[in-house]
Each structure stands twice: as C-alpha cells, then as structure tokens.
A and B are shown apart, each in its own frame.
Chain A
Amino acid sequence: MLTVQNLTKKFSNGRGIFDVSFSVKKGEVFGFLGPNGAGKSTTIRHIMGFMKPDQGYVKVNGLDTWQKQGEVQKYIGYLPGEIAFIEGMTGKGFLDFMAQMQGVKNLSKRNALIERLQFDANTPIRKMSKGMKQKVGIVAAFMHDPEVIILDEPTSGLDPLMQKVFIEIVLEEKEKGKTFLMSSHSFPEIERTCDRAAIIKDGIVIAVKDIHELQTMQRKLFEVTFNNDEDAKSFLNSNLQIESHEGNRVRVAIQGNYDSFIEETAKYHVRNIAIFTQNLEDVFMNYYDRSGDLK
C-alpha cells in the first residue's frame, strides 16, 4: 500500500535521509520511531510529495507521490507534526473548508469524530489549546475516509484519556483495512497500536522489526528501594545489570529478562519500585550502539 524505496535526500548542511526503504501492507499499522531530528519528518514530507527525492521514490497505492501530486492525495489522510491552520477561522470553518477541498459530501464521519473527541468545533482556532488543535487535525485526517493515514506525532498535546480514545479510533480504522504510518519519538505510543516499526537515526533506518521483537529489545530502568542497605548490597550480587547503587536504592536495567528481575527482587523486602522514563536512545541503547559500530 505504501512503499518507500531507496529514498535519499541530502541537505546542504550534510544532514538528510539516506537510502530509506520500507513498505507498509494494507491494513497494517506501521510505526516510525526515532529521536528528534533523525529524519522522520523529512521522510513524511517525501511521502506527502512536498519534497523531491534525490534518489528513490515513495509510492502510495502504486502512485509515485512526487509525480502524481493531486491524484495520490485522494488516498491519503495527513496529520502534520506541527499543526498550522489557516488563520481567522473556527474549527468548524476549517473542517468545512477541508471537506470542500477533499470533495467530501457525507459529513456523518466528521460529526461522529467530533463527538468522540469531545471538543467544541465552534471555537476560533487562535483560541484553541495545543490539544484541541490536535483534535481538529485528527478529524481532518480521518473525515474523508482515506485508505492510507499518515500521522506525524499524533498524540502530542492530548491528555491520557484522549490518547486512549485516539488509539481506539486507530484500531477501529485498522479493522476496516486502513493502512497507517505513525511517527513518534516515544516507544510506548507506538507499542500500543503498531504491528511493525522502523527505527531511524541520523537519516538511516537501523531496524525494521516486529513490535514484539522491539519490546524484547527495549531496555527499561527500574529503581528498587529495599528495606535496608544490606539487602541492597546482596542484591548487587545477582547477575542483573546494575546501573547504580546508593544506600538502600539500586538502579537496575532490564532488557527482556523480567522473570529473573522478579525472582531476584522477591528474595527481599521491597519498599518501592519506580520505573524511569527514558528517551529513545536509552531505550534502545544497545541497539543504537551496535549499529553505530556497523557504520
């Protein structure tokens, strides 16, 4: 449904994307993971036909997105990473305008989405919060019932409840056979919806993996607080990967080996276990290092 083949674009500052290839099957939700500035948005710009590739191509439904501008958009719904609406309109005014541009006659889907995302469409856009704009953007991306939906950091600005609603909407559309490409810099966001994901860094795709495989590669940091310092000390002798130790607190890195982590900690009295949120490089630290060596 969506094919990115040997896509290369070099910018004058030496950055860019290099030989990016992946393909997304019909009915699949594909994640596109990478830290900020890794080339996610550049790739999406090529998918949307905003940029001309130096080499390679992007095809959606068999149509080259650069050459078939204006035609290929019939099949695409798009949520930009940085939402900028046309000024001086209400949410409804904007959606009406977009519906006209997309040639949508049936507004029932739009109204249902507004209902579910719970926002007042009559608010002027310049008075909207980030989350509310995001909701308007989501409605605009889904309302014309496109085959392929491209979402650039879709849940940024949404509260947890709305993130949940959003994930429900994505999964429902997936059931109907819609294809998704979702970019994100946070793994948990991708984890809940995607079947597969590509990890990109410095413009190079370093892995395209099944989401379960990625989950086992994922590295999590836990801070365990023991009842006393002795317990903490003897815990250090387990063959878990210890990050740091201070008094009765031990910070431990877990990568797939949850069973042994639970077994080891269960030997002692535990006061508290806290999980650390990490950035993507840390989450896939080993992976990034290994591919760094390959280069």
Chain B
Amino acid sequence: MNFSLYKHMMKVNIKGVMNYAIGAAFYIVLVVWIYPGMEKTAKPLNDMLSAMPAGMTKAFNLQNGFGSFESFISGEFYGVLFTLIVSIFCVMVPIQLMAKLVDQGSMAYLLSTPTTRGKVAFTQASVFLTGLFLISAITTACGIIGVRIFINDANSFHVDRFIQLNLAAFALFVALGGISFLVSSLSNDEKKAMGISGMIIFGFYSLDIVGKISEKIDWLRDFTVFTLYKPADIVNGKGDVIQNCIILFAIGLIAFLVSILVFRKRDLPL
C-alpha cells in the first residue's frame, strides 16, 4: 500500500464515488417514500403480479409481491435499481484506476517512483473497495433513516435483515468489481477493457434473468455470480446468506489477488 498514492487517488475519485452514493441514496429514499402510497394499492398490484408468469416475476426479483415494505424494497431497489447503478460503478471505476492510466501513459509516472507495481495495483484496488464501501454504507444509512421517517409501522422493519441485504449486495459488488479489476489490469486499452468488463458483468446479469424465466434453462444460472445474490430470500429470512456472501467475497478476493500478480509480471506499453 502506498499512502501518498491512496490519498491522491481518493481525492481524484471521491467526487465520482459521491455521485454514485448520492444517486443510490436518493433512489432508496424515493422508494421508501413512495411505499406508503403503494401499500394501499398493493392488493391489485399483487393480483397483477400473480397473473404474470412466475418466471417473469422471479426474473425481476418480484416474487415476494408488494405486500410488505421489505419485499417491496428487496424487489424494487435491491433487485433492480441498486444492482444496476452499482454494477455500472463496478465496470467504470476499475477501468479508470488501472487500464486508463496504462492507456494514457500516466502509469509511467507512478512506476518511475520508488514503489512497486504490486503496491500500485494493491493501492488502486483499495481505492475501488473504499469507494464501494462508502456507497454501500451511505445507502444503508439513508435506507434506515428513510424508514424511520416515512414508514409508519417501523417496528415490522427488520434492521438486521436490511443490513444483511446490504452486506449481500456489497459482497456481490466486490466479486463483480474484482472481475472488472482483473480485466482492467490485463488491458492496455481503456475502451477495450470497458467493453469486456461491461460484457462480462451485464452478461452475468442477463444470464441470471433469462435463467430465472424458465425452469428449462435454469442451468444458465450456474454460470453467473448473481445466483449467489438473492434479495427476496434474504428479507424472508430464507437461504444461507452468510455462505453466499463468503463465496462472493472469495471470488472478489481471488480476482484482486490475480490482478495484482498479473500486473506485476506484465509488459506495459508506457
């Protein structure tokens, strides 16, 4: 870890991180805020959902319906919005931290100072993880505060499950970010890296959705990390949240480690 570099990179990236964090926090407060209005119409909405094919509702994590606030937020926010917003973060930021510096050549300056490539890669990974953590923490905090303000029946809200939900999401993004960081560490071309990372991450997302639609193609979900992230199960207290989180964190950790190793041994066109 190189603290001068860490400090500097945080300074450069904090604005971008805050944009994502504020965006996500704004959405969660919005979703919490509109829920009391939705609750009244929950019955017809649920009827509508049950009229839809089961695969469709499952694909978009809506199988819990709109009956309770938790099922609503797990489906609406953690199932779709938050996943998409932070997935974009997971594609873009590792590229900016690694591939872009190599592509533009400013990596030459970092490596011309007495620091090792391993340290540079480790520091950049730390910057990404710090950013991701800030986004998750701010979203979680805003969610909890939002519930206290807007939801009348706040007692039925399980804070522990809500935190688990956020932890699971964080674990998913660590895995996605790790994969994207690995692509970025291997690339000399910023645009190419973005294309590949984007394809992998949104490919995973699509496999998960398509796999859920029909039982017959359920095997598709064996090839995507999104399978390990089940917001609907978490709010119902079902499934092994901790085990899934550990697997996701392990995927992320391995990807970051491999990134550092390959970056140390690679020819750089600087």
Using a CB–CB distance below 8 Å, which chain A residues touch chain B? 45, 48-52, 69-71, 73-74, 76-78, 80, 82-88, 97-98, 100-103, 140
Contacts and interface: CB of A to CB of B under 8 A. Distances in A.
Contacts of A51: 267-268
Nearest to B12: A88
Nearest to A101: B113
Contacts of A88: 12
Interface string B257-270: 00000000101111
Contacts of B236: none
Contact of A80 (B2, B5, B105, B115): B105
A183 B269 CA distance: 17
B112 A76 contact: yes
B4 A100 contact: yes
Interface string B94-135: 000000010011101111111111010000000000000000
Given A84-B105, A86-B12, A101-B2, A48 B111 contact: yes
Nearest to B119: A70
Interface of B: 2, 4-5, 8, 12, 101, 104-106, 108-117, 119, 265, 267-270
A73 B265 CA distance: 17
B4 A85 contact: no
Contacts of B109: 80, 84-86, 98, 140
A85 B112 contact: no
A67 to B, nearest CB: 11
Contacts of B104: 84
A289 B101 CA distance: 41
Given A45-B270, A97-B8, A50 B108 contact: yes
A71 B113 CA distance: 9
Contact of B114 (A45, A74, A86, A140): A74
Contacts of A52: 265, 267
A78 B113 CA distance: 9
Contacts of B12: 86-88
Given A69-B111, A74-B114, A101-B115, A84 B4 contact: no
Most chain B beta-carbon contacts within 10 A, residue among A45, A49, A101, A103: A101
